[in-house]
């Protein structure tokens, strides 16, 4: 019921914990007391206990549930206080770099200050905070409810916004992976950065005039510094990943002409505008398919080898972590791949390319070790269910009540369907009179009436073509239990 309560600028924010109090109460009861449950196999009753192992949400909701601010210079919840970031004055943006920190201490890239900013040769990679350490850090922290509370300068510098309500559960501090990073949204944001930067989309590209001025102020990447002409105008040299107009058209044409299997992905060609050299409007699953298959072909066709190689490795990494079954011995290889890939991308792309969503893939392999395959810990299934709940809303003034009423109606129909299905079996002692269907579904077999003021005057029958009728007829025959139909099927 919180599906329509979280999104948007009027979301409860940190006050989401107020709405989670009934859930925490039920979870504590399930852990301490349990719920009486019937076991049909042993024909006995037992007390079933349940636990909440972790949460799955997008990154803004991650901040609401965990209490850690996902904005600012220490936005990464896995690196916590040791997050490597740098603020660029002209771009007004924090960039999260320093990925050589995750390499071995003997790796030569750790001492390469030409391509990497803020590299320290002996610094170890950050270690994730445990639940016990987090609870000790938040000991004595005061929660403030309401959005109109005044925030002092000291409170702005503290990354914690409140104590998570989940710590009221007695076992929560012992969970190794309390909040999952959503791979679906990470993949979508990384795909957006790559496409917008390669095609140089206005307002979305990460290579712009402000970042060139920042690079000049830091005296880093001299090949990208703006050059001053005699007439006083500034000229920005082309970067290594820049493409000509013809190459951009070819990039878009490759994706637009791709022939996809029916039902495997949506029509991505509708999002590609070859003449304007744009790819916009694609959904999260489209980005998933682009990263795994189509971008590989488009990048290899248009970009040079030194630029295409790290991008191809990045796409291969996302494809590797989405496997249904992953060999634990391959996880170390995947971790090495993503670290080296991000380091190579730091040599090519400007710092504004590396927002927090580009940094987060470096922690995905660690979460696979703690929580299992990505497919069972992503937002795809949840987003599909939320769409179903939102489609149940008929009264937009009472969305929660509409969803609850429609959900109850679906459960009742499913129960009646199973209950009536038993009545067709003559050997069932609990069978009911088939005529009960006339009282439960009185409108079966009658024409569908039109809607509106004139619904009493017009009756619209349900029109069905011959193909649909044949499919329905076949479905009824193959799902009927009568002996006469079984002889016909044989």
Model pLDDT for residues 51-88, shown as the tens digit of each residue:
999 999 989 889 989 999 998 889 999 999 989 888 99
Residue with tokens 């320093």: 98
pLDDT attached to residue 212: 92
Taking the CB of residue 13, how many other CB atoms lie within 10 A of it?
16
* DSSP β-ladder status, 459-460 and 448-449: antiparallel
Among 97-106, 116-125, 250-259, 361-370, the range scoring the smallest mean pLDDT is 116-125
Q: What are phi and psi of 87, to 5 degrees?
A: -95, 130
The token pair that represents 340 in the structure block = 């080296």
pLDDT attached to residue 391: 86
DSSP letters spanning 90-144 = TTTEEE---GGGGS-TT-GGGG-TTTSTT--TTPPPP-PPPHHHHHHHTTTPPP-
pLDDT attached to residue 434: 45
Length of the chain: 490
DSSP letters spanning 173-189 = GG-S--EE--HHHHHHH
pLDDT at 423 over 60: no
Distance CA 342, CA 99 (A): 7
pLDDT at 184 over 80: yes
Distance CA 196, CA 276 (A): 13
The token pair that represents 457 in the structure block = 């005057």
pLDDT attached to residue 279: 94
Tell me which residue of 373, 264, 263, 271 sits closest to 321, measured CA to CA.
373
Quickly state the pLDDT bin for 436 (edges 50, 70, 90): very low
Quickly state the pLDDT bin for 448 (edges 50, 70, 90): very low
pLDDT attached to residue 41: 86
Q: Which residues touch 175 (CB under 8 Å, ≥6 apart)?
A: 53, 54, 131
For 197-234, letters b (16+ CB in 10 Å) and e give bbbbbeeebbbbeebbbbbeeeebbeebbeeeeeeeee
Distance CA 347, CA 117 (A): 10
The token pair that represents 355 in the structure block = 């927002």
Q: Are 143 and 29 within 8 A, CB to CB?
A: no
Residue with tokens 């893939």: 361
Q: Tens of pLDDT along 92-138?
A: 999 998 888 888 887 877 777 666 665 555 678 889 999 999 999 99
Q: Greatest CA separation found in the chain? A: 98
Distance CA 25, CA 59 (A): 25
Distance CA 448, CA 451 (A): 9
Quickly state the pLDDT bin for 352 (edges 50, 70, 90): very high
- Sign of the CA dihedral 483, 485, 487, 490? negative
């Amino acid at each position: 019921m919180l599906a329509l309560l979280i999104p948007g600028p009027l979301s409860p924010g940190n006050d989401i914990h107020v709405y989670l109090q009934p859930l925490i109460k039920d979870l504590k009861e399930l852990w301490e007391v349990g719920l009486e449950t019937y076991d049909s196999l042993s024909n006995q009753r037992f007390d079933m206990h349940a636990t909440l192992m972790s949460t799955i949400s997008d990154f803004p909701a991650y901040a609401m549930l965990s209490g850690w601010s996902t904005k600012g210079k220490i936005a990464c919840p896995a690196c916590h206080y040791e997050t490597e970031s740098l603020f660029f004055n002209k771009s007004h943006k924090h960039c999260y770099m320093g990925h050589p920190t995750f390499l071995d201490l003997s790796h030569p890239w750790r001492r390469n200050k030409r391509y990497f900013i803020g590299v320290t040769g002996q610094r170890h990679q950050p270690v994730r905070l445990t639940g016990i350490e987090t609870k000790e850090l938040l000991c004595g922290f005061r929660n403030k409810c309401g959005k109109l509370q005044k925030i002092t300068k000291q409170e702005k510098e503290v990354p914690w916004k409140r104590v998570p309500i989940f710590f009221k559960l007695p076992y929560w501090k012992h969970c190794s992976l309390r909040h999952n990073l959503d791979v679906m949204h990470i993949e979508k944001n990384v795909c957006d950065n790559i496409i917008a930067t390669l095609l140089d989309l206005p307002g979305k590209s990460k290579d712009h005039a402000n970042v060139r001025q920042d690079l000049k102020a830091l005296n880093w990447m001299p090949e990208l510094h703006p050059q001053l002409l005699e007439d006083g105008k500034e000229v920005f040299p082309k970067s290594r990943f820049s493409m000509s107009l013809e190459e951009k058209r070819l990039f878009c044409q490759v994706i637009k002409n791709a022939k996809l299997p029916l039902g495997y992905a949506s029509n991505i060609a509708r999002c590609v505008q070859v003449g304007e050299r744009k790819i916009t409007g694609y959904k999260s699953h489209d980005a998933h398919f682009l990263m795994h298959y189509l971008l590989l072909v488009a990048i290899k066709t248009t970009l040079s080898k030194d630029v295409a190689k790290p991008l191809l490795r990045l796409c291969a990494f996302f494809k590797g972590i989405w496997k249904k079954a992953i060999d634990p011995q391959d996880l170390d290889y995947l971790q090495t791949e993503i670290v080296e890939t991000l380091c190579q991308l730091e040599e090519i792309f400007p710092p504004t390319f590396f927002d927090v969503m580009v940094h987060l893939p470096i922690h995905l392999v660690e979460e696979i070790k703690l929580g299992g395959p990505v497919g069972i810990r992503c937002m795809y299934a949840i987003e599909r269910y939320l769409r179903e709940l939102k489609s149940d809303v008929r009264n937009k003034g009472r969305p929660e009540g509409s969803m609850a009423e429609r959900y109850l109606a679906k459960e009742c129909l499913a129960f009646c369907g199973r209950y009536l299905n038993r009545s067709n079996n003559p050997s069932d002692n609990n069978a009911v009179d088939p005529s009960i269907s006339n009282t439960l579904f009185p409108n079966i077999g009658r024409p569908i009436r039109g809607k509106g003021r004139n619904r009493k005057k017009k009756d619209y029958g349900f029109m069905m073509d011959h193909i649909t009728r044949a499919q329905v007829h076949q479905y009824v025959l193959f799902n009927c239990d009568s002996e006469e139909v079984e002889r016909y099927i044989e």
